[in-house]
Chains A and B, each alone.
Chain A
C-alpha cells in the first residue's frame, strides 16, 4: 500500500488540488519569481493560514523590514491580530520571543527582521563572510529545537548571496539545503528571478537541490499585467504543471484558468 505523504497546503485555491493537496511536508521549495509577483505574500500567507490552525512558522526577512511587511499584509486583509505574530529586531530578543511562543496557545509566526538587525550592528566587525548564513542557521535551529515550529520562509536567497559570499556555491548550497532538510521543516526559499525569467535561481544549482519549484510571474495582457503561478517541479507529487492566473480575492489566493482575464 502506498504510504500517505503528509502535505502542507499553499492555501491557493486550485493550486493545492493540482498538487495532491499541497507540498510534501519537510520539503525544501524554491519560490521563484520576478519583482512584484507576490512571492513574499504567497509564502507569508501559508504561514498565516497554518498559524490560524495553531501551527508555528518562522519568517526570516533579510531586506524588507517587519513594519513594511506588516503594513503590506494588513493591506491585503490578513487578520494578523488573530495570530501570535512576534517580531525579532534584536538578536538578544530571540530567547524572549521563543518563550512567548512556547507559552501561547494560538498559532504563531516569528518574523526575524534581519534588515533592522543589520542596521543596528553595522559597526560591529563580523568574522567572516559566512556570518549571516550562520545567523540564519542558528535562528532556525534554535526556533526548531525550542518550539513546535514546522514551517520556514527565507526571504530571500538572493539577498543572502549579497550578505554571505559563497566561494564554492555547489558545495555550500548542498550543505545548506541538507541542513534545512535535517531540520525537518517545510521550507520555502524565495528566489528573485531576473526580469527576462532566464533562470529560477542565482546559481541554478538550487533548482536541482530543491524538492520543488513554484514559479510566479507577471505577464502583460492587453493593458493589464496578469499574475501567474505554476508548479515547475514537485518531488513525490503527481502535479498539474499548467500555468494558472493568480488572484487574491476576499482574503484568499486563487489559481485560476482564466480568472479576471479570459483564456485566449
Chain B
C-alpha cells in the first residue's frame, strides 16, 4: 500500500474566528419558515421578511427594528371558524417571495396562507391585491415570466389540488388540476413548471397546462425542485427530494438519472454548488435522518454530517469568512446552527507509522491509499439558539446569518475574526 500526503493536509485547514449573536428579535409568534432577505425599495437597505403561524408578515430592518407588520387574518363567520384549526387557520407556512410586480422600481411581497389566500403587499406592507384559492397554500409562491411576454406570473400550488397561475395583478390566467394536494413550491424551467404533489408525483406542465411528464416517488413531495447543470455542460437536471427518503435527479424529459437514499424524509430544496472545484455541481441538502449530505453529480455520497435532530430547512452554501473556501450552513431541529466545511473531512482509519494522526481536512485528491480512510462532514462552528430552527437566510453583503426559530425568535449571527 502506497500512501502519499503533504504536511498541510495532515494538519488540515483550521478556521479562526467565531459566530457571535448581533441581535435577537422576539416576534412572540410561532415561525414556520425561513426569512427572506431583500432590498424592498432599492435603497441599499436590507429588509428581513418573515411570516408567522398567527398570519402576520413582519418586515424588520437590518438592526431588528420593525418597519411594518401586516396581519393576514381573514374574517370568517361563526360557523366557518368552528371547522378550522383555529391555531393555524391563518398560518403562513412558507417564506414570502419578492418581485417588482407593478414595475415601479419597488418590490412587492407575495405569500400564501393556510386559508388559501395569496396576498401581494407593497414595500410599505399595504395590500396591492389578494387572490382566494379553494384550498390551503402551504408551499411558497414562485414569480417568474413563464410565457416570455416580459411580465411576471405568480405560480403556486394549493390543497385544492390545483396549480394556479396568476398575472402580476393577481388575476387568474390558468389553473391546472392534479390528483392530490400540492404543498411543494413550484420551479420554472423555461416555459415549463415543475412541482411535487402529496401522492408522491413530480409533474412537469407547460404554461398552457399541458402535462409534459410525471415521475412517481413513493411518498409526499413537499420540497421545491432545483434545476442545474450538474455535469458542467448544457444539459439541465431536476433535483428534488421526497418524503420517501430519496433524493431524485431527473433529466429534462423526466427520466431518472439517479436516486440517493437517506434514512429520513427530505422536506426542503437542495442547494447546488461546486464545492470541490471539479467544474461540476454538488448537491447539498438536509434530511430527517438528522444529517446534512453532500452528494456529487453522479449521486455518490461525498460526506454527511449528523446533527441531533431533523434538518427540515434548506441549507445555505456561502463563504462566510471570506477565506476563499465554501461553508455549508444548516439549521437543525436540535436548536443548533451548524457551519460545516463544504469539502468535508478525510478520516484516516489506519496509517502505518502515523499512529495518532487520524484526521485531516481538505481535498483528498492528492492522497493515494487503498481505502485507508473515508470522508465525513466537518463542523467548523456551531451556534445554539433557543428553539427549533425552521430556516435561515444570509445577508449577502455582511454575511450575517438570520435564523428563524419556531419559538418566534429571529437571531442575527455574524462571523467575527478571532480577537487577539
Binding site for B on A (CB under 8 A): 91-92, 94-95, 121, 124, 126-128, 130-132, 134-135, 137-139, 141
Residues of B within 8 A of A139 (CB): 82
Known: A128-B135, A128-B136. A134 touches B78 (CB 8 A): no
Which residues of the other chain, B, contact A91 by a CB distance below 8 angstroms?
A: 78-79, 82
Q: What chain B residues lie within 8 Å of A121 (beta carbons)?
A: 79
Whether A128 lies near B159 (C-beta < 8 A) is yes
Any chain A CB within 8 A of the CB of B322?
no
Q: Give the distance in Å from the alpha carbon of A138 to the alpha carbon of B86 in the complex.
A: 7
The answer to whether B85 and A92 touch across the interface, beta carbons within 8 angstroms, is no
Residue of B nearest to A130 (CB): B85
B79/A134 in contact, CB under 8 A: no
Contact residues in B for A130 (Cβ distance below 8 Å): 85
Q: Is the CB of A131 within 8 A of B79?
A: no
Q: With A127-B135, A138-B86 as given contacts, are A92 and B79 in contact (CB-CB < 8 Å)?
A: yes
Residues of B within 8 A of A124 (CB): 79
Cβ-closest 9 pairs across A and B? A131-B83, A138-B82, A91-B79, A91-B82, A134-B85, A135-B82, A92-B78, A134-B83, A134-B84
Determine the residue in chain A with the shortest Cβ distance to B86: A138
- Contact between A127 and B78, CB atoms less than 8 A apart: no
20 CB-based A-B contacts, threshold 8 Å: A91-B82, A94-B82, A95-B78, A126-B83, A127-B83, A127-B116, A127-B136, A128-B135, A128-B136, A128-B159, A132-B83, A134-B84, A134-B85, A134-B86, A135-B82, A135-B83, A138-B81, A138-B84, A138-B86, A141-B86
**Interchain nearest-CB distance for A263 vs B (Å):** 50
Dominant secondary structure of chain B at its interface with chain A: loop
The digit string for B119-142, where 1 denotes a CB below 8 A from any CB of A, is 000000000000000011000000
CB B348 to nearest CB in A, in angstroms, measures 43
Q: Which residue of B lies closest to A128 (CB)?
A: B159
Within 8 A of A (CB), among B85-101: 85-86
Question: Which of under 10, 10 to 19, 20 to 34, or 35 or more describes the interface residues of B?
Answer: 10 to 19
Instruction: State in angstroms the CA–CA spacing of A14 and B116 once bound together.
Output: 54
CB distance from B90 to the nearest CB of A (A): 13
* Contact partners of B135 in chain A: CB under 8 A: 127-128
B residues near A137, Cβ cutoff 8 Å: 85
- Is the pair A127, B79 in contact by a Cβ cutoff of 8 Å? no
Give chain B nearest CB distance to A191 CB in angstroms: 24
Residues of chain A contacted by B136 (CB below 8 angstroms): 127-128
Q: How long is the Cα–Cα vector from A135 to B78 in the complex, in angstroms? A: 12
Q: Which residues of A contact B84 (CB under 8 A)?
A: 127, 131, 134, 138
Instruction: Kindly provide the distance from the CB of B117 to the nearest chain A CB, expressed in whole angstroms.
Output: 13
Within 8 A of A (CB), among B159-183: 159
A141 vs B82: C-alpha distance when bound (angstroms) = 11
CA distance A95 to B86 in the complex (A): 16
Query: Interface 1/0s, chain B 295-310, versus A by CB < 8 A?
Result: 0000000000000000
Further contacts, 14 of them, CB under 8 A, given A92-B79, A131-B84: A92-B78, A94-B82, A95-B78, A124-B79, A126-B83, A127-B116, A127-B136, A130-B85, A131-B83, A135-B82, A135-B83, A138-B81, A138-B84, A139-B82
Instruction: Point out the residues of chain A lying under 8 angstroms from B79, CB to CB.
Output: 91-92, 121, 124
Task: Give complex CA distance A60, B84 in Å.
Answer: 18
Q: Could you tell me the distance between the alpha carbons of A134 and B83 in the complex, rounded to whole angstroms?
A: 5
Chain A contacts for B86, CB-based, 8 A: 134, 138, 141
B198 closest partner in A (C-beta): A167
- Which chain A residues border B116 with CB–CB below 8 Å? 127
A142 to B132, CA, bound (A): 28
Which A residues are in CB contact (< 8 Å) with B159?
A: 127-128
In the bound assembly, the distance between CA atoms of A41 and B411 in angstroms comes to 55
Tell me which residues across on chain B come within 8 A of A94, comparing CB atoms.
82
The complex places the Cα of A127 from the Cα of B84 at a distance, in Å, of 8
Least distance between A103 CB and chain B CB atoms (Å): 20
- Residues on A with beta carbons closer than 8 Å to the beta carbon of B81: 138
Nearest CB in chain A: distance from B81 CB, A: 7
A127 to B78, CA, bound (A): 15
Q: Given the complex, which residues of B lie within 8 Å of A95, measured CB to CB?
A: 78
Instruction: Please give the distance in Å from B381's CB to the nearest CB on chain A.
Output: 34
* CB-CB nearest in chain B for A131: B83
Provide the bound-state CA to CA distance between A236 and B412, in Å: 47
Complex Cα–Cα for A131 and B83 (A): 5
A138 CA to B79 CA in the complex, in Å?
Answer: 11
Distance in angstroms between the alpha carbons of A33 and B336 in the assembled complex: 48
Which of B78, B84, B86, B159 gathers most chain A CB within 10 Å?
A: B84
Q: How far is the CA of A65 from the CA of B332 in the complex (A)?
A: 49
Bits for B72-83, please: 1 = Cβ < 8 Å to A, else 0. Answer: 000000110111
- Distance in angstroms from A169 CB to nearest chain B CB is 16
Residues of chain B from 48 to 74 with CB closer than 8 A to chain A in the complex: none
| Cβ contacts under 8 Å, A92 to chain B | 78-79
Write the chain A residue with the least CB distance to B114. Answer: A127
Nearest opposing residue in chain B for A121, CB measure: B79
Bound-state CA distance A94–B83 (Å) is 14
Q: Residue of B at shortest CB range from A136?
A: B82
Residues of A contacting B83 in the complex (Cβ-Cβ under 8 angstroms): 126-127, 131-132, 134-135
With A and B bound together, what is the CA distance between A141 and B78 in angstroms? Answer: 15
Q: A138 to chain B: which residues have CB within 8 Å?
A: 81-82, 84, 86
Q: Given the complex of chains A and B, what is the CA–CA distance between A137 and B78 in angstroms?
A: 15
Q: Which residue of chain B has its CB nearest to the CB of A93?
A: B78
With most chain A CB atoms within 10 A of its CB, the pick from B81, B83, B116, B159 is: B83
Query: Which residues on the B side are within 8 Å of A128 (C-beta)?
Result: 135-136, 159
Provide the bound-state CA to CA distance between A243 and B161, in Å.
Answer: 51
A104 CA / B84 CA spacing, docked (Å): 30
- Say how far B122's CB is from chain A's closest CB, in angstroms: 29
CA distance A193 to B291 in the complex (A): 43
